[in-house]
Chain A
Amino acid sequence: DTGVSQDPRHKITKRGQNVTFRCDPISEHNRLYWYRQTLGQGPEFLTYFQNEAQLEKSRLLSDRFSAERPKGSFSTLEIQRTEQGDSAMYLCASTDFRGLSYEQYFGPGTRLTVT
């Protein structure tokens, strides 16, 4: 069990550019979640996958955001035409829903700074 990993850990981009983040969940976990955390706040849910299916999206996930989880393994979160308001920590978490514990294991996050 190597834990949840995220790449990159830090990303600085200019407004208007596209960025893509990757999350590798714990291998046997079938659910994968994306959250956004801004300074001084708790994480806010963005979207989640069960295997390869994206089952829920928050209203926070604007049309500029898209997430995929091909083959039910790693996931990517892409932000198009970044805005300064997108600056935040993007967290990924996974869980084995079949275990019914609902405990989510978090990765270290990707800190995005839009200049």
Chain B
Amino acid sequence: AQTVTQSQPEMSVQEAETVTLSCTYDTSESDYYLFWYKQPPSRQMILVIRQEAYKQQNATENRFSVNFQKAAKSFSLKISDSQLGDAAMYFCAYTDSGGGADGLTFGKGTHLIIQP
């Protein structure tokens, strides 16, 4: 079974600084998809960024970028120029290319605090 591990229960960063959230995963599949989702307090989960395992290029979305290391099974999220609105729980998630029959497998999350 696939597992996703987020080793940082909580991270704190000064506004406008850069922070990196860590995620490792375990799978025997060669083709899969990785995601970072953001869950603000009492609000619904939204997708931050997506990475297809077959793509070597790291995904970027504005201030958000990933460092995808397939051999190391590592998928970290970098948030540049942190803003107060970035404060939330961040979840790393995995699904294989079989169509997500087991849904997304999530890590336990990292609570990101933005200090003004």
Residues of chain B having any CB pair with chain A under 8 Å = 4, 33, 35, 37, 43-47, 50, 91, 93, 95, 97, 99-109
Given contacts A91-B45, A103-B50, A106-B45, contact A40 B103 (CB under 8 A): no
A104 within 8 A of B: yes
* Chain B residues within 8 Å of A44, by CB: 106
Given A41-B108, A42-B108, A101-B50, A106-B103 contact (CB < 8 Å): no
Residues of B within 8 A of A104 (CB): 47, 100, 103-104
12 residue pairs bridging A and B, Cβ less than 8 Å apart: A35-B104, A41-B109, A43-B104, A45-B105, A46-B103, A56-B102, A102-B95, A102-B97, A102-B100, A106-B46, A108-B43, A109-B44
Instruction: Please state if B44 and A48 are interface contacts (CB–CB under 8 Å).
Output: no
Binding site for B on A (CB under 8 A): 4, 31, 33, 35, 40-46, 48, 55-56, 58, 91, 93, 95, 97, 101-109
B4 cross-chain contacts in A, Cβ below 8 A: 42
Given A42-B91, A108-B44, A102 contacting B106 (CB threshold 8 A): no
Contact between B33 and A48, CB atoms less than 8 A apart:
no
User: Cβ of B50 and Cβ of A48 under 8 Å apart?
Assistant: no
The smallest C-beta distance from A87 to any residue of chain B, in angstroms, reads: 17
Question: Which residues of B lie under 8 Å from residue A35 when comparing CB positions?
Answer: 103-104
Contacts of A31 in B (CB 8 A): 100
B52 to chain A: closest CB distance in Å?
A: 9
Give 10 nearest A-B pairs by CB, closest first.
A42-B106, A45-B103, A106-B45, A108-B44, A102-B33, A42-B91, A56-B101, A33-B103, A106-B44, A43-B106
**B107 x A103 contact (CB < 8 A):** no
